[in-house]
A and B are shown apart, each in its own frame.
Chain A
Amino acid sequence: MVDLGLKTLLHDKLRFAITTMGVAFAVTLVLVQIGLFVGLLDNSTITIRKIDADLWITSKNSPNLDFVHQFPESNVYRVRSLPGVERADNLILSFMQVALPTGAEETTIVYAMKDFEPWGIPWHLRGGQLDDLRRGNFVMFDESAEKRFGAFQVGDYREVNGRRLRIVGVTSEAKSFTTTPIAFMAYEKAQEIQPDLLSGKTSYIVVKLAPGADRELVRREIAQRLPYNDVYTSAEWAERSRDYWIENTGIGFNAFLTVFLGCLVGVVVVAQTLYASTMEHIKEFGTVKAIGGSNLDIYRMLAKQASIAAGFGFVLGYLPAQLLKPVVAQADLKLIIEPGFTILVALGTLGLCLCSALIAFRKVAGIDPALVFRS
């Protein structure tokens, strides 16, 4: 069967290239912007997802992981005594100041626990032992801190809140939404360095349930015993933290706007080129009708052209988005393009290209058959 739609599309290579490039640009824009957005949100909750806890106990109405209020550390005993709780520990999160060799100061978010080991953080450790943290004036920084703190290595010293600490390990992948570098230190050390804020206080209690324990039952019990705290599952707490950034920083609206603009660019380019192509070939469409074709034959042809533009455009847009990953990583950002989202964008591209063809459909439906006789 002769494929007039495909042949016509490929016959005008420049127009086809412009159409597919327009779609590709829109696809790249959407994939990269949403990928960066997802990457940022991933940073905002990566520690929640990496800490092996079933429940998080927070101060009342804490908006997200980083913005915390302290509460009495003794609350942890009330949690530990509950049936169904296998382990419960205090976790301090606190902003501290790091004096740099240049004389400048930078902020760091300190994660402090008595024992990190059972909770699975930090999950990537380059050099040093976690146990070392408890043995003196020691600290570990995430490697992403180099961007702000300058180069450092195990054995170097840094002043944190005026206390000289030796770096005993370097972690990786521990990042925050605000890109403030993350540091790890012993629970008591954090309280010692920041006594006014942290003495006798904790930021969170993380809870690991015993095998077979009823999570909702334990959660209700904790809520009853700690009426001035909130209890979340890890997933709920991650979602709440993510939602805070989406709703309160404009990043969500920004992402929505980018996707909208990307789609608009794609639709406008495809619609414009398909419409222009239809107008240019209008006599040919009239001829199709004259030699026995129907409107449906022409709609199929236009739909096929739109689908081909969508297919080529998607592939040409997807590849640069993937190639940008290492470039983005060099800027200490994450570009996360998940398979589900990729499929969604592919289907969206197809759908939008077909919608773009509707204008051409309308034009074709109204073709004056007598135009085939005009010179």
Chain B
Amino acid sequence: MFSVVAEEVTKVFREGREDVSVLKGASLTIAPGEIVSLEGPSGSGKTTFLSILGCLLSPTGGRVSIAGETLEAKRPAQLQSIRKRHIGFVFQQFNLFPALNALENVEYALNLKGVRGKQAHTEALALVERVGLADRARFLPRDLSGGQKQRVAIARALAAEPSVLLADEPTANLDINVAETILDLFVELAHRDRRALLIVTHDPKVRRVVDRTVRIEGGRIAA
């Protein structure tokens, strides 16, 4: 069974009086433990595709299935539920909460996923340790380097053990050495825990660690 299945996915946005078709039948499957990179020029539909696979948007047409659950476009609550249980996001800008320290950023994500109290604290601590930031657990994001922030973001994405990780340009704001370390961490997380990983990127370094690269152009997966 695939962790991610997207078949002939279309997405049409209404802009003023016009319908704009961003995805025109994009298809993709990702197996558990597989690392796939998604590349494409600006405006090709990468972010929209990522948003649909991440259950942030519902598709206009086609079929999307995450961890065996098929998205039903008319049930927004189902999107949130799948996102909560099966998806972890890593963003280019890290998107950490500036008022929360590293540990709290992770613990808050666990809280949102229904893990509370001491258990959430213990799990958050374990995740922070896992990404190698135990000594920075009480630091606010402003006191962390770019690489450390991304590690916190990864730890947060791992909250409640999602089966799918979606990363949007995770190395774009990092220097070369840090980017390599982060990519190694991704490989470990995907292969060891059999977690599907989709990385949207322009960074050629990413190709070193992925199992497969797909390209999106004009709203369709090209290869």
Contacts and interface: CB of A to CB of B under 8 A. Distances in A.
Interface of A: 1-2, 4, 7-8, 10-12, 283-284, 286-294, 297, 369-370, 372-373, 375
- Sorted nearest first, the 7 A-B pairs with minimum C-beta distance are A369-B56, A11-B99, A292-B84, A2-B108, A7-B99, A292-B112, A287-B95
Given A2-B104, A11-B99, A372 B91 contact: yes
A291 B89 contact: yes
Contacts of B47: 370, 373
Contacts of A297: 112
Interface stretch (B113-121, B131-139, B202-210): B113-121
B89 A290 contact: yes
A349 B205 CA distance: 56
B57 A11 contact: no
Contacts of A11: 98-99
Contacts of B97: 4, 7-8, 284, 287
B99 A8 contact: yes
Interface residues of B, number: 35
B168 A373 contact: yes
Nearest to B91: A372
A373 B80 contact: no
Contact of B156 (A283, A286, A291, A372): A291
Nearest to B83: A292
Given A372-B56, A373-B168, A2 B111 contact: yes
A198 B98 CA distance: 80
Interface in B146-189: 156-157, 159-160, 168
Contacts of A372: 56, 89, 91, 95
Given A2-B111, A4-B108, A291-B109, 11 more contacts: A2-B108, A290-B95, A291-B112, A292-B80, A292-B84, A292-B113, A292-B160, A370-B51, A373-B51, A373-B168, A375-B93
Nearest to A293: B112
A287 B88 CA distance: 11
Interface of B: 47-48, 50-51, 54, 56-57, 80, 83-84, 88-89, 91-93, 95, 97-100, 104, 107-109, 111-113, 116-117, 120, 156-157, 159-160, 168
Max chain A C-beta neighbours (<10 A), residue from B51, B80, B99, B120: B99
Nearest to B96: A287
B173 to A, nearest CB: 8
9 contacts: A284-B95, A287-B95, A288-B112, A290-B56, A370-B47, A370-B51, A370-B57, A373-B91, A375-B92
Contacts of A373: 47, 50-51, 91-92, 168
A372 B93 CA distance: 9
A10 B113 CA distance: 24
A224 B156 CA distance: 86
Contact of B95 (A1, A283, A292, A370): A283
A308 to B, nearest CB: 14
Contacts of B89: 290-291, 372
A2 B100 contact: yes
A11 B99 CA distance: 5
A329 B211 CA distance: 82
Given A1-B120, A372-B89, A289 B56 contact: yes
B104 A290 contact: no
Contacts of B108: 2, 4
B48 A370 contact: yes
A369 B51 contact: yes
Interface centre among B48, B95, B157, B160 (most CB of A within 10 A): B95
A11 B104 CA distance: 14
Contact of B80 (A12, A284, A294, A370): A294
Given A291-B159, A373-B92, A375-B92, A1 B56 contact: no
A292 B107 CA distance: 13
A232 B100 CA distance: 66
A10 B116 CA distance: 22
A8 B57 CA distance: 27
Contacts of B159: 291
A290 B54 contact: yes
B104 A7 contact: yes
Contacts of B111: 1-2
Q: Which of A284, A288, A291, A293 has the most CB of B within 10 A?
A: A291
A289 B48 CA distance: 16
A19 to B, nearest CB: 15
Given A373-B47, A373-B92, A1 B57 contact: no
A297 B112 CA distance: 8
A293 B55 CA distance: 12
B99 A4 contact: yes
Contacts of A4: 97, 99-100, 108
Contacts of A1: 111, 116-117, 120
Contacts of A288: 112
A375 B47 CA distance: 12
Contacts of B160: 292
A10 B99 CA distance: 8
B58 to A, nearest CB: 10
Contacts of B95: 283-284, 286-287, 290, 372
